Amino acid sequence: MLSDTVAPDTVASDAAAGWVEGAAILGAVAVVATVTAINDYQKQAQFEALNAVAESTETTLARRDGAEVIVPNASLLVGDVILLEAGDVVPADAVLIQTISDVVVDESHMTGESEDVRKSADASPVLLSGSKVLQGRCAALVVAVGMNSQMGLITKLVRAQEGEGGMETERSDDDDDDDDRRRLASTEAAAAAAAAAGGGLGAFSLHWLPYDRTKTVLQSKLETLARDIGRVGFFAGASCTLILSASFTQRTFLGGLGAGDVATAATWEWAYLNDYVHFFIQGVTIVVVAVPEGLPLAVTLALAFSVRRMLDDNNLVRYLGACETMGGATTILSDKTGTLTRNEMTVSRVWAAGRSRGPFLERCADDARLWRELASAICVNSTARFTVVDVDEATGEQKGARTETALLQFATGLMRDRGYAQLRRDACVVDKVLPFTSARKRMCSFAWTPDDRRGGRYRVYVKGAAADVLSLCDSQLARDGVAIEPLELDAFRASSLEWEKRGVRVMVVAFKDFESGFDPSTLRASASGAFYLTLRGLTLLAGIGLEDPIRPEVPGAIARCQRAGICVRMVTGDSLPTAVAVARGCGILPPAPARGGDGDGDGDGDDEKASLDGVAMDGEAFRARTRDPVTGAVDQERMDAVWPRLRVLARSSPEDKYALATGIMRSKRFEKERERERGGGRGRGRGGGGREVVAVTGDGTNDAPALKDADVGFAMGVCGTTVAKDACDILLLDDNFASAVSAVRWGRNVFESIQKFLTFQLTVNVAAVATASVGALLIGESPLTATQMLWLNLIMDSLAGLALATDAPTDALLSRPPCSSEASIITPRMRWHVASQATYQLAAMTCLVAYGDAWFRVDSGRGAYGSLAPPTTHYTLVFNAFVLSQLVNQINCRVANDATFNVFRGIEKNATFTAMLLCEVAMQALIKGGAAFHTSPLTAEQWGWCAAIAAGGLPLRAAVTALVNAREEREEIDDDDDDDADDDDADDADADSKKKKMKRTLTSRAKPLREWLDFWRWVEMKLFRGLF
């Protein structure tokens, strides 16, 4: 025992100070509640800002004053004519007035029926707001907007149930209607949730407010960890209370603990109850300190900070858990066009009339008719339009798929004397359109030619992928634009193959004239598109090469993914040669093997084909390898044999993308291998085990199932359809793959921020519980009072959570493998950190409690316990040194999971961390000498000694880091030795192993020196040069 037990009569009798501890506790709770409220307010304001950004991206093409204009959904008015096509969501209640092709919509969000509904201007013309256009193109007249639409009425009902306005009297002025429409944009999700009874795409919400679907893996891990820590804390607190009570009872009422003790058994007095209450308070304090209350706040802060900053990187987060999930992604299935490439399509080559034309097309008089026919075919058979952003603006803007707009630019460039509208008007009168779909990969427009529309000549224009349209052609248009000549198929295929190998997409434009007297009603009878199967005898107009350059930042982004242990796979509808060329340009595939100088071309082609076997394939081969030949269903065992090697999937459908994504997520291929590695003492792998975490990018309506079911779905904010955006977790505002990689950095940063705070809080909790427990057992009381414990546990944790959650991600995060969902959130490095720092702090506090009064020549605080006792300088020194130790540990925790020795690295870039640290120091200085926290004033010398004791955590952290680094390097060398032992060529493996060992040894020996040199350079630059 460090001191004798203090009798009850030694407690100070100044009862006037009894309110202090309760008031301090209430004040601390008020501060924490205020911090939480401010955080919630900021989060709500941030989400409203995200909604505003999303609302600005929700637009509809409308026809006003005879011009096609792009109108924000919130600005639509009754009487507007809106133009809709597949992938759009109906923004208001409307009535069909014209159908360019058969319209099919999904109304399950209203009716609850999963059956798609076919619409027509005669039989079923009503379009309900929120419906998804799944097929076709149409024009519709707006009849109800805002709260007067069907979606608005449901929203009113939801608000009435929630007490947010009920069925109030409707306001009719324009300003109020605009407000209603704006509020509707942010409450459509609640309406959809209240009305939806079906599934599929109809269950997708239309709001942009980030939402929580289920508990994330991180949240589940933290809840489990908090429960475990709470159990340990309860056991420690209960044990401490029981031991103190039993010891006091034995010593006071049972005559001592040993034979040498004098039996002085006391009789019971009610004053002794204070001692038992004091013991109970000690136990409760230990339990309160042990429970990590700050974890939920730290998670909220980390996610809110990341979501806000991700918006700067063009990531609009709709589902908060996607931030965390993306940090563990192991596979990204990426589209090609617009994501890996710039989506700036240009016509670079043309094959027509048996000739291949280069990038600079030379128009000559002989080909004038040919070019006119080609331009007319492009303009007629197109879904793209020239629109204006505002009715007062004269400049045009292209709306439509980039492929379509590139073809229109090419067509108008060919016929400079006539614009797009005149070309389309002069060419023919469109009778029927069968739009492009991912299934048939071609588009048809049926029209009457101007000169023969009454006489009976009827023409169909067809365009699409070369592989789909070329097989339907048996002739080609001659140079004079009139004569029909035999198709030079081999010549065209040779040219197109050469283009595709250079990453050029090849499209074919063709036509067919029907015989005089042809009845178009026979085509209308096959509106389902079955006519495509029987269409033959087309005349080839031209083969067009479209070039879309790779985004300059994509190769670097893919290289970062590969270093981070993330496999990037490209899924595209382009041909296999084009896809392979783009994949090599991006770095998904290695460069093509160099051709031997004396080898023949066939041999080189065979070698290249062999190198791509299983690595790149088209959709047909993928389906043949992964589906059961009898049932046609995806076979998981077949899928497991394909996906690990697959990097490029060309000529694929949305169903192929969905099958690949779900097949990878369901795969258990590596479980046995990982179990075998664990059994052999090796568990590195990719993230230490667990299933693959798949992220998918998509922009089309048919991509919605894959986006919805993937672990993380990225929709394109520029070219994506509304249905795809509704199904995604994160919206890429710039359609850029590099932005998706940025989401990986932020996702890993969220996980690391939580680990930083968890390391900090575990150190505080372990040290505080140990100090309180040891003090209670040795001297009969805790050297830290309840208010001081509350200050440490709530105030410090809240500010530390804010400080540690605001570190921006670094590129070093992408040099680590993804963390597995099965891996513990507490890493071995964190365990070493917590154990070493907590042990050091416990030892330092124990020495201060035992000998601090003698060292600093102050009155001892031992024995002066309770809220009524006057504060002592002795225990104030203990409390101050303990708090400053946590502040030093807060700096250490910035790099808790890093192998670096410089804990100040990048601290100058985080103004929030520095501000929070200074705020904590200032608040700690302000509470000195106050009765609320039971402290007395300290001299500058005493502050200096407390700071010196706290600073001891810095060299301790460096020493522990060196030991952990050496241990990990030793394990890595042992793993490499095991890998080399399995190598077939033992001699070469041994030589390579020795080289690797030597290189790692030299690097590891030089690394600490480099780290310390960097640290002292930073100190010199930031401190010495700044002062002098």
Expressed in angstroms, the distance from the first to the final Cα of the chain is 53
Question: CA 310, CA 312: separation in Å to the nearest integer?
Answer: 5
Alpha helices in 217-272 (DSSP H): 217-253
Q: Which two tokens stand for residue 687?
A: 């993230």
Answer yes or no: are the C-beta atoms of 665 and 694 closer than 8 Å: yes
Taking alpha carbons only, the member of 610, 701, 758 closest to residue 225 is: 758
Residue 355 falls in which region: left (phi positive, over 0), alpha (psi -120 to 50) or beta: beta
In 3D, which of 872, 556, 792, 817 has the Cα closest to residue 686? 817
883 burial type by CB count under 10 A (0-12 exposed, 13-18 middle, 19+ buried): buried
- The answer to whether the beta carbons of residues 686 and 817 sit under 8 Å apart is yes
Residue 985 CB coordination number (10 Å): 10
Cα gap 350→596, rounded to integer Å: 31
Strand 346-352 relative to strand 538-547, pairing: antiparallel
Instruction: Calculate the alpha carbon distances from 750 to 565, 743, 796 in Å.
Output: 18, 10, 20
Nearest-CA neighbor of 724 among 736, 732, 713, 715? 715
| Separation CA 687–CA 820 (nearest Å) | 5
Specify the 3-state DSSP secondary structure of 475: strand
335 is known as an active-site residue: yes
The C-alpha atoms of residue 916 and residue 667 are separated, in whole angstroms, by 46
Count of residues for the chain?
1028
Other CB atoms within 10 Å distance of the CB of residue 826: 15
Radius of gyration of the chain (CA): 36
User: Which residue, chain included where needed, has tokens 């030694």?
Assistant: 10
User: Residues 676-696, buried b or exposed e (16+ Cβ, 10 A)?
Assistant: ebeeeeebebbbbbbbbbbbb
Give the separation between CA 908 and CA 914, rounded to whole angstroms: 8
On the 0-12 / 13-18 / 19+ scale of CB atoms within 10 A, 515 is exposed
CA distances to 764, 796, 921, 954 from 887, rounded to whole Å, are 10, 9, 8, 11
Structure tokens at 93: 């209640």
Look at the block and give the residue holding tokens 């996906």.
Answer: 643
Rounded alpha-carbon distances, angstroms, from residue 93 to 76, 109, 136, 451, 739: 11, 14, 18, 40, 36
Contacts made by residues 1014-1021, CB under 8 angstroms, sequence distance 24+: 1014/902, 1014/905, 1015/901, 1015/902, 1015/904, 1015/905, 1018/902, 1018/904, 1018/905, 1019/904
Choosing from 102, 335, 703, 853, the catalytic residue is 335
The torsion region of residue 339 among left (phi > 0), alpha (psi -120 to 50) and beta comes to alpha
CA–CA distance, 925 with 555 (Å, rounded to integer): 52
H runs (alpha helix) in 58-123? 108-111
Classified as helix, coil or strand, 677 is helix
Distance (Å, rounded) from C-alpha 869 to C-alpha 101? 87
Alpha helices in 612-736 (DSSP H): 619-626, 636-642, 654-666, 671-679, 704-709, 722-727
Positions annotated as catalytic residues are 335
